[in-house]
Amino acid sequence: MADVVVIGSGVGGLSAAVRLAARGLSVDVLEAGDRVGGKLGVRVIDGVEVDTGPSVLTLPEALDDTLRVAGTSLRDELSLREPDPAFRYLYPDGVALDVFVRPAETLESVRRTLGAQAADDMAGFLRYAGRIWDAAAPHFVYGPAPSPGNLARGGIASLALLPRIDPLRRMWGAIRGRVRSPHLRWLLARYATYNGSDVRRAPATLNCIAHVELAMGGYGVEGGMYEVARALARAAERAGARIHTGARAERVVTGGGRVRGVETADGRQWPADAVVGNADAAHVFGDLLPRGSVRRAAAAPSMSGWVGIVRARRRTGADVRVAHTVLFPATYLDEFADIFDRDRPPVEPTVYLCAQEACHGRAGWAGEEPVFAMANAPAEPAAGPRDPAAWSALRDTVLERMRAAGLRDGDDALAWERTPSGLADAFPGSRGSIYGAASNSPLSAFRRPPNRVPGVGGLYLASGSAHPGGGVPLCILSGAAAAHAVLADRRGILTSRDTAK
């Protein structure tokens, strides 16, 4: 019998496993697939390994903190890269704006490209975004799941935070109020998509995402982003956790109001005192638990995305690819309207590209390099998958926009793709959403499922659909929060048993 069974080996599940095993608990990690990583995915195409998920690492200290619990560190396990430049934003009027890992270089690039006024506005916006982060992060990122009650009980000190985190304005309104350049407005609006949300509706609090990447840094990882998953798996096993691939959780076994373990699809029983669900919260609540165990109102899903790997002719010299490239459409806000108002793939999508050799030092094929391409898209309807023709049209539009921008040659082949339907199949309960629920209201942070599941003793959540949210660093922190809750509850149980004796 294990102390803890972790369902899923995404970075949230691995983070929880590292921390729990390092504290001496017996931990089994059950992974349905044949490798760890979850949405931090990887594929081998004609002998070349490529990343198929996240492509930039922010908040590396979250990863370092977790690795240190297992007696290692980020420096020991991985090498970070600072692409130069990091991002190139291409606008329909021909403007090309480069962004760098270091904010001083970014501001100088803005000054050269858009003028002194734009650079001053950008500097002011980053100060504003930094103030939001400093005020919000301890309560909404690093602390336990927030609630209006907790804020009220915190008294004047907690209520004084509200003006600093700007929750009552919308992201787009705050951006327009502080930044005059249309080019910078679009660049900053794009950070809503890092949360899978609608910039027109999401609270201005989420403008802190710009601070996280533009001021704190977004890095490449030598060898590819999947090295993050490998490092966490090594740390978990080093701490004593056991990782089992090909073990699909079928149900969470309960009794007496608490978990008793997990049953896998092959009928095997995995008894445990605690279960950590590193899966979409909707899957845990709706599929793995007995019906009616947890009642939660359905939440609107975050964005999904079409993604593909283009086997592109390698470019050198002045034509060498930038690590990350963003191709904006003619009217950027139309993309949000298509996804969230019309529930359809964008007619003219923003196209995001990651040149994996430039970004992560991944080795491609002889004469060709892997380029990751992505377009935002709506999640699948609750009633079932939409017509596959919608995804075919989106794919064709992405490839054509790459060609028109001079970023894809005529013989550059699409070597692999995954639609939102494929993402929904791979991650049950998600409907293909990447970040769980969308954060399109000021109360979104309070409605995200907490790491300790109320009403089911011994059940915890560690994923992008739970507190504090999606993205690699937040999933790592979700695993840490779940592990902290497990350990706190075990201390309480052991203390009560000692008292009873």
Query: Contact 401/327 with Cβ under 8 angstroms?
Result: yes
CATH number, span 2-40+59-76+224-294+439-500:
3.50.50.60
pLDDT at residue number 163:
79
Query: Contact 135/151 with Cβ under 8 angstroms?
Result: no
pLDDT at residue number 397:
98
pLDDT at residue number 497:
42
Q: Which residues, 6+ apart, have CB-to-CB distance to 347 below 8 Å?
A: 334, 338, 397
What is the DSSP code (8-state) at residue 436?
A: S
pTM: 0.95
Q: Which residues, 6+ apart, have CB-to-CB distance to 456 below 8 Å?
A: 254, 257, 258, 259, 289, 293, 294
d(CA 90, CA 330): 11
Q: Which residues, 6+ apart, have CB-to-CB distance to 355 below 8 Å?
A: 321, 322, 323, 324, 325, 369, 371
**Residue whose token pair is 């995200």:** 448
User: 115 is written with which tokens?
Assistant: 């003028």
Query: Contact 166/174 with Cβ under 8 angstroms?
Result: yes
First to last CA, the chain: 24
Domain(s) of CATH 3.50.50.60: residues in the chain: 2-40+59-76+224-294+439-500
Query: Contact 372/353 with Cβ under 8 angstroms?
Result: yes
pLDDT at residue number 143:
86
pLDDT at residue number 155:
54
What is the DSSP code (8-state) at residue 333?
A: H
Query: What crossing angle do the helices spanning 171-178 and 116-140 adopt, rounded to 10°?
Result: 140
pLDDT in tens, the chain (501 residues): 899 999 999 999 999 999 999 999 999 999 999 999 999 999 999 999 999 999 999 999 999 999 999 999 999 999 999 999 999 999 999 999 999 999 999 999 999 999 999 999 999 999 999 999 999 999 899 988 887 666 666 655 566 777 789 998 999 999 999 999 999 999 999 999 999 999 999 999 999 999 999 999 999 999 999 999 999 999 999 999 999 999 999 999 999 999 999 999 999 999 999 999 999 999 999 999 998 888 776 688 999 999 999 999 999 898 999 999 999 999 999 999 999 999 999 999 999 999 999 999 999 999 999 999 999 999 999 998 999 999 999 999 999 999 999 999 989 999 999 999 999 999 999 999 999 999 999 888 888 999 999 999 999 999 999 999 999 999 999 999 999 999 999 987 655 444 443
d(CA 306, CA 248): 26
Q: Would the CA dihedral through 481, 262, 229, 238 be positive or negative?
A: positive
Three-class HEC string of 27-46? EEEEECCCCCECCCCEEEEC
CA dist 160 → 92, 164, 208, 226 (Å) = 42, 8, 18, 41
DSSP-derived 3-state class of residue 346:
coil
Residues in the chain, overall count: 501
**Residue whose token pair is 């005192």:** 273
User: Which amino acid type is present at position 373?
Assistant: A
d(CA 65, CA 465): 22
